[in-house]
Amino acid sequence: MPISEILIILVAGFGAGAINAVVGSGTLITFPTLVAFGYPPVVATMSNAVGLVAGGVSGTWGYRRELRGQWDRLRWQIPASFFGALLGAWLLLHLPETVFAAVVPVLLIGALILVVTQPRIQKWARGRSEAAGKAADHVGRGHLVMLTIGTFLVGIYGGYFTAAQGILLIGVMGALLPESIQRMNAAKNLLSLIVNIVAAVAYTIVAFDRISWAAAGLIAVGSLVGGSIGARYGRRLSPTALRATIVALGIIGLWRLLA
């Protein structure tokens, strides 16, 4: 592997790790980079998923403080992400690539709409809770069921093609939870990490020889550092700035996917 390729993949891994910690669309950097160097799409997807596990660990650890008090919901979301990722990984290994490629733009557009309208949706939800005599941060059983189903569906998507799963998760949680965007971002990091771990293990067991371990290793090194830095500076962004960052990167990702 040429030195130039090594350096570019390292930088792409760093950028992906930082963006995943803050938003969750880092694959839109590393995946096109690997494809540009001649890696087949499925090989690029699997190598990328394996490499980004390291960045997911550092990003989740960096946001560990914001995870406090969320375990009543996460105990449902974590299994949903786990089993969704299993199904998504199975789909990647058995279905044509064109199947999900047609669905990805629609999912991303829907997620961006949810992110933009999140403040109004939360205000409406709080108003209904208070009118019913419940606490403003109350999450009803119906919302919890919808949240679990939504997390499962995003897990399927993430297990198949990891790009922008973080944006989808924040979109789902923003529509259903009376939480700050920073706390949702912490939950997103943990759930995305679970999806990536499941997908990476599945790919390793079933398609070990189809993974480029050199590329995966470079992405792992870069994303490990990037995830730590992204978590450190991401929490300093205001909710409006973070939401704007999510939307901007989502639009860029949509453009890349359509192109």
Give the span between the Cα atoms of 230 and 22, in whole angstroms.
Answer: 6
Domain span at residue 16 reads 3-258
pLDDT value at residue 253: 65
Give the span between the Cα atoms of 177 and 21, in whole angstroms.
Answer: 20
pLDDT value at residue 135: 47
Give the span between the Cα atoms of 148 and 153, in whole angstroms.
Answer: 9
User: What DSSP element (H or E) covers 113?
Assistant: helix 104-131
Give the span between the Cα atoms of 252 and 258, in whole angstroms.
Answer: 10
Q: What is the DSSP string of 184-199?
A: HHHHHHHHHHHHHHHH
Number of Cβ within 10 Å of residue 225's Cβ equals 17
pLDDT value at residue 53: 93
- For tokens 């890696």, name the residue: 39
Instruction: State the DSSP code for 70.
Output: -
Q: Provide the residue type at 69 as one letter.
A: G
- Give the tokens for residue 90: 């199975």
Give the span between the Cα atoms of 129 and 145, in whole angstroms.
Answer: 17
pLDDT value at residue 136: 46
Per-residue pLDDT of the chain (259 residues; tens, 9 = 90+): 789 899 999 999 998 898 888 776 777 788 888 888 888 878 888 899 899 999 999 988 988 888 888 888 889 999 999 999 999 889 888 877 677 667 767 776 777 776 677 667 656 655 655 555 544 455 667 788 999 999 999 999 888 877 677 778 887 887 777 777 778 888 888 998 999 899 899 889 988 988 999 999 999 999 999 999 988 887 676 667 766 766 776 677 677 667 6
Number of Cβ within 10 Å of residue 128's Cβ equals 12
Rounded (5°) CA angle 62-256-199: 50
Give the side-chain half-sphere CA count within 13 A for 194: 23
- Distance from the Cα of residue 254 to its chain's centroid: 15
Question: Residues near 198 by Cβ (< 8 Å), separated by ≥ 6?
Answer: 81, 82, 85, 86, 89, 159
Please state the domain count of the chain.
Answer: 1
pLDDT value at residue 256: 67
Beta strands in the chain (DSSP E): none
pLDDT value at residue 117: 73
Q: How many Å is the Cα radius of gyration of the chain? A: 18
